[in-house]
Amino acid sequence: MHYTGTIWRPPYEAESLLLEVTAGCTHHKCKFCTLYDELPFKFRTSPINDIEADLQEAQMFFHSPQRKLENKLLERRENGGCRVFLTGANPFALTFEKLTAVSVLIKKYLPNNQTIGCFSRITDIAPKTDGELKQLHQQGFDGLTIGIETADDTALKFMNKGYSSEDIIKQCKRLDNAGISYNFFYLTGISGAGRGEIGAKATADVCNILHPMLIGANMLTVYTNSELYQEIQHGNWQEESEKEKYEELKVLIKTLNIPVVFAALGASNAIQLQGLLPQDKKRLLSDLSSITDRFSEEELRHYRKTLRHL
């Protein structure tokens, strides 16, 4: 398989076939992000040839007798189809024509494939027509993962996300209409010291009028090679304390009133949490209170400082 640099995937895509179609990020301007620092966006150098070669290899792997008992992907395929997750910071930025070409190849070599997922920016949805989105859904695109980070417009602007809360609503409603489901990543702490509650409420208000399947919370970790670190050094932004971040999550969970999976499973979370809302709301809030009761700010901060990589 052809892979470029570090491959990132959501925790819930662990059993999906990871197929690289892009590398790097089209935006590459978020002040907090260091994931793709040395990797400019590209659609594979020999894209279709490489992708086809990877699918041929995957097909052989699925049919290898010695893998039949141990390969979870194959088990999923035999039980109704496997899932493919396209890797890269935001492969949904590819044109409708290129995404269609990829889906055709996937169906050719993995005929029982059911769905195709990938990371997407809000700005990747806008250029596609409503008809194209519906066709992409028919081709199998579903369960997109969108790092909205927050719906706090002040934070979105400061962090150079390149869209507003209104854009989140508009584009995700278009996904709803096309039948394409989606998951959100929320970045706890992105609003800065003293503004966590504002960001959490604004994000919950936006989520409450949309239909995310999952809201995955990650905690902001500021690395010294980020633009945000320089903003902090210049006194332009102040980071939330670790306990503030947990209080922020409480506000988010309290304010959400839609049926959704809530998960804090990534490495940025010192303690991992997961549950279904609304039924697990009380338990999740209790778990968050327990964390801040059991651990000191210094202990939680030590985890943040020693987290070498996300």
Q: Which domains does the chain show, CATH number per domain?
A: 1-142 (no CATH), 144-310 (3.30.750.200)
- Provide DSSP, 127-196: TS-HHHHHHHHHTTB--EEEEEE---HHHHHHTT-S--HHHHHHHHHHHHHHT--EEEEEEETTT-TT-H
pLDDT tens digits, 27-72: 989 999 988 766 665 554 446 788 999 999 998 876 655 445 445 5
pLDDT per residue as tens digits for the range 245-281: 999 999 999 999 999 999 999 999 999 999 999 999 9
Both tokens of 225, joined, read 């090679």
pLDDT tens-place string over residues 101-112: 999 999 999 998
Which pTM value belongs to this model? 0.92
